[in-house]
Chain A
Amino acid sequence: MTIIKLKSNLLDIFPDDIHRSTLINDNEFYIQVDSRSIVKICTYLNGELGYALLTIFANDERTLTGKYAIYYGFADRKKSQLIIIKTEIAPTAMSFQSISAKVHAASSYEREIKDLFGLIPLGHPDAKRLVLHGNWPNGIYPLRKDYDLHHKPHFSKKETKFKKITGEGVFEIPVGPVHAGIIEPGHFRFSLAGEPILNLEAQLYYVHKGIEKMAESMSIEKCFYLSERISGDETFTNSLAYCQAIEKIAGVEVPPRAEYMRVLFAELERLTSHLGDLAGICLDVAYGFAAFQFRMMRGWTYLIADDLCGMRFLRSVNKPGGLRMEFLESKEKSLIDQLMKIKKELEDTVVIIKQNTMFIDRVENTGILKSAIAFDLNAVGPGGRASGISHDVRKNFPYAAYDKLTFDTPNYVDGDVNSRMRVKLDECFISISLMLQVIETMPKGPIKESLPKLLSHQVAFGMTEAPRGENIHWIMTGENETIFRYKIRTPSFCNWPALCYAVSGNIVPDFPLINKSFNLSYAGNDL
């Protein structure tokens, strides 16, 4: 449905509820609606039209309009359009209608808004705390503008209440936040009867650092470095989403060579990340040979990164307006050789692991994420693509030079660990092929464009396909080239609830395997 048709459609159905609408940045359609009609409009967009809910976030706009604003981001993926429903909440009301009962993916967003802004979602089925653990006193709302970034409140002692599963022989296993492996912190509460898991509740936000608050009033240049440090292994893709949003606001065209190089680095990061996940999957079923094969290949991708820019995590490579410097000149030959070496090794290893029936037996039919649940929770990335949701930002919202390159999106329907592993294996080959295409077809020319002075209170989305899936950043600029609001929604935020569904019915020893097959970032979720 085109924007014009959608607009007339909405005006027909909800004549009294829509205040005004504007189209900016070519595909971001903002519709301001009355706060009382938010449920029916969101239900219409999500339920009737099938637009996926990408994000919900609040913004303290009291200094601008005297009110809080809540934005509901929906996407028409077939038409590459974003439909953003905006509603304003008066400071006297401090509450809004929850849409979680109708749009299930909304649940965590609304809890997040409740914790960080103190706006109460009315009618939310389970509005307990999400970001702030029991040690935070009541009445602390960090993302309000009048909250001081440096204020550290006193420690209170409240217990976190987990969902209780009752019945004969039902018991709980608490795991974490410090785990046995070298991974990030998170607390998992399993409820079991015998071996199979009845319910898993994940308490995250142990690494909540307040990134969104820190970004506010930071200069645009400094905030770029913050965006690189949202999630270590997604450095480049996060910085790219940030740069995209800033470039949209500035109205700058990035030089073509930089667009191609960005694809190269983004795919290198995806390859590195996927090889690490595959190694993890093999290690978690004690398949040492394959794990070390993948670790060796991952080591090689780090060597490529070191060769290209001297930074193993591709930090300080990007820059709003292009890239920091020319990284590729006279390195094309050795890069092609290294990529071919990885490709050959990967092909050999895939043949070996697919013939290992004991290994396939462990991964097949383990941790099934059903397609309907994946759609309801807006599961993204390899997690979604293994469950029949063939959505890929590189195809649906093309950025950088992806529209000039040819590639497929792998799609499997079983939703088990095996499917996710096969998606990742396929994507490794796709990444290598994309990098080779880039080296072949990349034009010569400059690699950065200088930015003009940015106006205040301009907004834009930045969207990229991170190794873990759809990555969405939203920026509103402030006075004097600063950030007013920086909303980050990484793919991990969408996929954590999906993971909790995928493990139910499986046995506890399979949990690390299922967890690794999603490989979600705690840092990217907790911010």
Chain B
Amino acid sequence: MNIKSGKELLNICSEQNISLSEFAIKEEMERSEISREEVIQKMKTVLDVMKESTNEGREKKIYSVSGLIGGDAYKLNKYIKNGKTLTGPVMNKAMARALSCSEVNASMGRIVACPTAGSCGILPAVIITAGEALGLDDEGMIMGLFASSAVGMIIADNATVAGAEGGCQAECGAAAAMGSAAVVEMMGGTPEMSLNAAAIVIKNILGLVCDPVAGLVEIPCAKRNFAGAVSALTTADVVMAGISSKIPFDDMVEAMYRVGKQLPASLRETAEGGTATTETGLKLKKEVYGE
């Protein structure tokens, strides 16, 4: 990338008077030496796969290969149709979509790793649900995805998006930060407001450990995906109300990376701590792998 930080990203966007999505499109054209149309077409393919994976689990019950999780996106979808949700259809649809992607992933279906397979539900849920609520077409959602990638590239360059390296805060945290920044742009916010949203999301997910039961991308991953989607959407509203992050984005990325390195190995995808080693977590592990 031509830039190394959120600060440089904001400078370039303001100098050239461009959005985060436009920045990402230009970057990719230069990097891959392909036309604008080709770059956008590639993202259209990404969006199409995301749409499928957000729908599949809501329409029918999908279970993971291990049998540990499944059927929850379907349940939530049914619950929405009863019309008595507390937090409204937008929030509940986002949660159902995130769960659907996680269930599709765990059942060996097709997903987009964004940034990882473990966190693959957050960005599709956030972009598609916000796009729908804001009345945007595919192109609007594709721009949202490009905006999210600008934030994701900076996080990956300066910190990590791997659970084994930085815990769940690095995977689901990055995904939610990317999603929130994108929604702010989709709502007409400035690049600066987008980075405020990303910073606030990281702040709120900071320290989240990666502790998968039986080492599988199922428990607690699927539920952390819906929680990440909620965090991304609610934070977009907070920022659109004019609230900013007192600690800037670059500082929060640095803090996230530092906290990740401080986490013991047992809480970085090794299944040797946290949820994985609860009494029930260990019992489930035995059910999957035998004694």
A binds B: no
Interface residue ranges, B against A (CB under 8 Å): none
The residues of A with any CB-CB pair to B shorter than 8 Å are none
